[in-house]
Structure 1
Amino acid sequence: MHAIRLHAFGPAENLIYERTEDPVPAPGQVRIAVAAAGVHLLDTALREGMQGPYPTPAELPTIPGREVAGIVESLGEGTDTSWLGKRVVAHIGMAPGGYAELTVVDAAKLHEIPGDLDEAEAVAMIGTGRTTMGILQFTDLGPDDIAIVTAAAGGIGTLLVQHAKNAGALVIGLAGGPAKVSLVAENGADLAVDYKQDNWATQVRDHLGDRRATVLFDSVGGATALAAVDLLGKGGKHIVFGWSGEGLHDGAPLTFTDEELAERGITSEGVLGPVMLQKAGGNIRVLEERSLAEAASGRLRPAVQRFPLADAAAAHRALESRGTVGKVVLIPRTASS
């Protein structure tokens, strides 16, 4: 098979498209003919040798990638034979191997792809989608809400805008640059603004008049998030699930003391990690199933940007430079042949 292999930690150019041996499924595993493999910002950190949430850096050489979809084409010993030939999607987890034409996955991690959802969309929902479902556990949006979504042209941001609109809320989407702002507007936001413009917060205030936002979905942190928090009214919620912003003081989570929160009359809560899993009853599959069902029903439509598998390095560079929209997905050549 062909795969992307990393032989040395470092820049995106270290992701090499080459032939390697076909993986063999162990007992309880399946082998998937990969039709789509997800690329996550965390993958870029792991490529550079950072540990991230993992106990140690990956052993080299390695095939990156933790989200895959495709068709089950062979089974390990003792694996349920009903999986054979099914279209499936899985979040592999700590074991890499997704950037390849073939990969092995524990059968316990599989979901059958529902309806006519395509594989790239399924990959978006098994990772980005499940995180979105996890975030939404911390607020119950309705017609009385005004929601601000940062990074609204991203994978999670796109889904949050759609969910908020489905709930009847007024939605303000922040994005960087005219092209992304246009996409946010097309996605249904009532107001889409370019946070790179100095007067973006004034644009929002002018649009709201005497109203104030009730919920801020914050994945950027720093100065942008602080300006957005200033738009929250009394009783507003600041929901933090990232800190990827640019500029002075960005790239770090925005935090407040209890006194500052009391003065503003808002709450602020980080929702990633154990707290999200605990909210889901300790079962991450609950969020995955909910995410896939939302996409299959048409209520949520993930934004997907596709790259050929051989162009994984370009995909990483685009992701790191904020040149992508939605979920980045690699497509093996065999998937379209």
Structure 2
Amino acid sequence: MRAIRLHTFGPADNLRHETTDTPVPAPGQVRIAVAAAGVHLLDTTLRQGIQGPAPALPPLPTIPGREVAGTVDALGPATDPAWLGRRVVTHLGFAPGGYAEYAVADADRLHPIPDGLDPAQAVAMIGTGRTTLGILQFADLGPDSVVLVPAAAGGIGTLLVQYAKNAGATVIALAGGPAKTALATANGADLALDYTRPDWPEALRTAHPHGATHLFDSIGGPTARTALHLLAPGAHHLVFGWAAGPIPLTDTDRADLTARAITTHNVLGPAMLHRVGAPDPLRVLETRALAEAAAGRLRPALQRYPLARAATAHHDLETRATTGKVILEP
């Protein structure tokens, strides 16, 4: 089969499109003829040899990729035969192997792809969608909410905008450049501002002088610092990423946030999973995410690349040149 392999940790160009052995499913596993594989920001850090939240770096050479969708074409011993020939989607956890024409997965982690969703949409919801719904457990949104979403043209940002609008909230989107602000507007944002322009804070103050009630922050850095000063008293700062690094808060900033009773919630990891309140919280969130997409309430934005261009996909993701969920298609 053809697959993307990494022989040496480093830059995106280290990803090679090669021929390798087709995997054979073990007991309790299936083999999936991959139609779509998700590219996650974590994939880019693992590729560089940065462990991050992963329990360990994969042994080399490795086939990256942890989110796949396609059709079951082979079964391992003692695997339920009902899976054969079905369209499925799965998250492989920290096991690699997704950037390939075929991938193996545990049968108990499979989800049937709902009617009306294509494999790329299903892949977006199994990872990005489940994270979005996990984040939203910490926000009670309604008609009185004014929601500020940086990175609003990204995979999670797109879904946050849609969910907030469905809840009746007023949505302010931040995105980099005219094309991305146009996408945020098309997704339902009431106000879409280009954060690369120096006048975006004043435009937000003019439109919403009382401030936002919720900040969904995946970027950190100076933009998040500015956004925190645009929140209403008692607002909620929900943190689920630091793409631009830590927020450079001064003692004066901290005193101001305390005086205005701004609360910060770090919503990834154990806090998110505990909030689900189920023995298998990730599966619960995956099921909910697929159902939201199947019902048309959430519509993932996708940027598709041929499998052979995985290096380009990684480069574009790292340089913020993508919109929505990045997908590889064999």
**If the TM-score is normalised by the length of the shorter chain, which range does it land in?**
over 0.9
Q: How many residues align?
A: 326
Counterpart secondary structure, 1:4: strand
Map of 2:120 onto structure 1: 120
Map of 1:217 onto structure 2: 216
Deviates more, 1:118-127 or 1:223-232: 223-232
Distance 1:270 1:56, change over 3 A: same
Q: Distance in 2 between matches of 1:55 and 1:186?
A: 39
Map of 1:296 onto structure 2: 294
Contact 2:222 2:247 in 1 (8 A): no
Q: Superposed, which structure 2 residues align to 1:187-336 within 5 Å?
A: 187-209=187-209, 211-245=210-244, 251-253=245-247, 261-282=257-278, 283-332=281-330
Q: How much has 1:208 moved relative to structure 2?
A: 1.4
Q: How much has 1:185 moved relative to structure 2?
A: 1.1
Contact 1:134 1:287 in 2 (8 A): yes
Contact 2:86 2:112 in 1 (8 A): yes
Runs of 4+ residues deviating >3 angstroms: 253-261
Q: Distance in 2 between matches of 1:256 and 1:135?
A: 27
Q: Distance in 1 between matches of 2:239 and 2:195?
A: 18
**Percent identity over the alignment?**
64
Q: Distance in 2 between matches of 1:60 and 1:221?
A: 32
Q: How much has 1:261 moved relative to structure 2?
A: 3.9
Map of 2:8 onto structure 1: 8
Contact 2:135 2:267 in 1 (8 A): yes
In structure 2, what residue type is equivalent to 1:234? Answer: P
Q: Distance in 1 between matches of 2:221 and 2:268?
A: 18
Distance 1:255 1:94, change over 3 A: farther
Q: Which runs of 5+ in 1 are unaligned?
A: 246-250, 333-337
Counterpart secondary structure, 2:26: coil
Contact 1:261 1:268 in 2 (8 A): no
Q: How much has 1:255 moved relative to structure 2?
A: 6.9
TM-score of the two chains, using structure 1 as the length reference: 0.94
Q: How much has 1:212 moved relative to structure 2?
A: 2.0
TM-score of the two chains, using structure 2 as the length reference: 0.96
Q: Distance in 2 between matches of 1:176 and 1:138?
A: 26
Contact 2:4 2:16 in 1 (8 A): yes
In structure 2, what residue type is equivalent to 1:221? Answer: G
Q: How much has 1:178 moved relative to structure 2?
A: 1.3
Contact 1:305 1:329 in 2 (8 A): yes
- RMSD value, Cα: 1.4
Map of 1:157 onto structure 2: 157
In structure 2, what residue type is equivalent to 1:284? Answer: L
Map of 1:335 onto structure 2: none
Contact 1:72 1:87 in 2 (8 A): yes
